[in-house]
Amino acid sequence: MILQMTFRNISIKNTLVVSKHYIFIFFLLCLVFGFNSCGKGKNDVYVISSGSDAKDFVEKEAEKNSYEKKIKEVNFKLKYISNDQMALQQINDLSQINQLQFDSIVRNYDSLLFFSLEIDIDNFSEELLKYKLDENVDASYNERVDYYSFGMQKDINIVLSEKDTIPCVLYHYERNYGISPKNKFMIGFKTSKLKDAVFVYENKFLKTGTIKFEIKEQDILNHTRIKID
């Protein structure tokens, strides 16, 4: 009872002093440890003034925010591609564009999420279409061409919750005709919801079962921003 009365008699002035001290400590910690520890964080900035700068940026970003999974001899790599990267790939001549124009192009990709999916197979250098082709009598080579070119899109989704599944709306298969062991797919989803999600691919011909990647919200929010010099 005595303890309760003591707290009730604390003056408003003292309470304000304590609050100010806490605010001061909060901002001091932000300065010492960086604002990334306080709130959602601040994006890195990469200055680009030439085509070579753009190429370097793409190469450096290629391994960031990537998710890898191996099932049997099949390797899967999923990479998040920011809207800044998508806009950069759209520009042919950087000397003809300024920051305002670049930001306008970036906004065209609002409410879209882009990924690159790479599939390669250990000790197999031909294109994915020919992998174990003789063992699958239900799918001819031409049927595989049709599936990987168009049908695979229907087997890719992003799951935000049990009742919120987002289908793949943009899809492109980059055929390499055996030149490279890596088989690349560009994938896009229409969504403005930035939170943890699961990328799901129900593959048909690789016999690896369902492929799932857990996508972290911070990987999407804290991507590197581009500054045009």
Q: What is the CA radius of gyration of the chain?
A: 25
User: Region 196-216: what's the mean pLDDT?
Assistant: 91
Residue 93 has pLDDT above 60, yes or no: yes
- Coil, helix or strand at residue 149: helix
Q: Which residue spans within the chain are E strands per DSSP?
A: 45-48, 66-71, 74-81, 112-121, 156-161, 164-174, 183-190, 197-201, 211-215, 225-228
CB 121 within 8 A of CB 137: no
Pairing of strands 225-228, 164-174: unpaired
Domain residue extents for the chain: 2-35, 43-228
CB 141 within 8 A of CB 130: yes
User: Region 191-216: what's the mean pLDDT?
Assistant: 87
Rounded distance between C-alpha atoms, residue 7 and residue 125, angstroms: 75
- Coil, helix or strand at residue 98: coil
The Cβ of residue 39 has, within 10 Å, a number of other Cβ atoms equal to: 8
User: Region 140-163: what's the mean pLDDT?
Assistant: 90
- CATH number of this structure's domain 43-228: 2.60.40.3340
CB 177 within 8 A of CB 158: no
Task: Return the pLDDT at 7.
Answer: 36
194: pLDDT confidence band, cut at 50, 70 and 90?
low
Quote the pTM value: 0.76
Q: Quick: pLDDT tens for 9-35.
A: 434 344 434 444 444 443 333 333 333
Residue 187 φ/ψ, nearest 5 degrees: -135, 135
CB 187 within 8 A of CB 170: yes
Rounded distance between C-alpha atoms, residue 58 and residue 174, angstroms: 18
